[in-house]
Amino acid sequence: MRPTLKGGKLPKILIIRLSSLGDIVLTTPVLRALKGKFPQAQVSFLTKGRYRDLLLSNPEIERIFTWEDDLKRLRGERFDLCLDLQANPQSITFSLKLRSTTRIRYKKRHLRRWALTKFKWIPFHPIHTVDLYLRALAPLGINPIKDKTPRLYLKEEERERARELLHQEGYGGGKLIGISPGARWEKKRWPMERFAQVGRELAKEGEVILFGDAADQPNTKRIAQLMGGKPIDMGGRTDLRLLMGLVEQCELLITNDSGPMHIATGVGTPVVAIFGPTHPKLGFAPLGVRDIVLSTNQPCSPCSLHGEGRCRRAKRFCMEGITPANVLAAAYSILRRDQGDR
């Protein structure tokens, strides 16, 4: 069933994606596709409070609701369409309680992804998460869109806030190169010593800035110490909007498979993404046209969907096999390419 205009009113659409950071960024092509089909629609988004700021200033969203504060209010709304891009027990149960004319839930292929981590090979073509999200729109008559790159939006005063902070930190212009060494699971983190080695070399190209949340502070501090010199250490010092603004100022971001990887793509900053226990074929690779993904394609990879659990081998060959030279070559490729574009 397709949502229709009733009584001259604009169609009301609710999108549900509660978590996590990167997954929410990856929903933004769906917003563009919906607005392309229903330009006058009132699109609302339901997410967890800590991710709300990711979606601010997005021109395709009229209202943002949070899971913690707005559920009672939402039950009183009447939506023409509820699009569940989470598809977990929480979101399914809640969507069934809504007074919605049409409910659509994306098919996350969880069983096939599990089989891929269990058996390493199964006879199906890997599909990116963004494509799975967009496939959910087929019942609405929405054809695949060409531009599937995630997009995040900043206000000019937020960009100015980032530039002012960089100035206060002693940044004088030139190339700004970001390093984000964190990840939710330890097994997904490339060794800090290698990040430091890469940082020392790239400091010859410009200024290095380190990113991380409060839990990453010890790691960014350690990398800064190993680098010598004075990289800008923003570990534990940014909120989401400031992180977006600072990453946008970077020429590139070197990162593990993590939320900041997708934030960089969303603000137009190319990434060098390091994949170890996870793998791009699980569907979470960055989608920027200049992004570079590094993976050693170990026979035991992917060993888990998100990088949870422990490595069962003598050492993490998936991470150890990615050398500083590999990362530097990818970084220089982006930097030199960008110079040529100018």
Q: CATH number of the domain at 26, please.
A: 3.40.50.2000
pTM: 0.92
Same domain, 171 and 97: no
Residue found under tokens 């967009």? 134
DSSP 8-state class, residue 167: H
Q: 252-256 and 271-274 as β-strands: parallel, antiparallel, unpaired?
A: parallel
> Are 166 and 40 part of one and the same domain?
no
**Are residue 94 and residue 199 in the same domain, yes or no?**
no
Q: What is the pLDDT along the chain (342 residues), one digit of tens a residue?
A: 454 534 445 699 999 999 999 999 999 999 999 999 999 999 999 999 999 999 999 999 999 999 999 999 998 899 999 999 999 999 999 999 998 889 999 987 665 655 666 666 555 567 899 999 999 999 999 988 999 999 999 999 999 999 999 999 999 889 999 999 999 888 899 999 999 999 999 999 999 999 999 999 999 999 999 999 889 999 999 999 999 999 999 999 999 999 999 999 999 999 999 999 988 888 899 999 999 999 998 877 787 777 677 777 767 888 999 999 999 999 999 999 866 554
Q: Are residues 325 and 239 in the same domain?
A: yes
- Is residue 30 domain-shared with residue 119, that is, in the same domain? yes
Taking alpha carbons only, the member of 186, 180, 166 closest to residue 236 is 180
H-assigned helices in 203-323: 217-227, 240-248, 259-266, 317-320
Last residue of a domain, one of 95, 112, 140: 140
Residue 292 domain boundaries: 156-341
Do the domain assignments include residue 151? no
Are residues 164 and 303 part of one domain?
yes
Our count of domains for the chain comes to: 2
Same domain, 201 and 302: yes
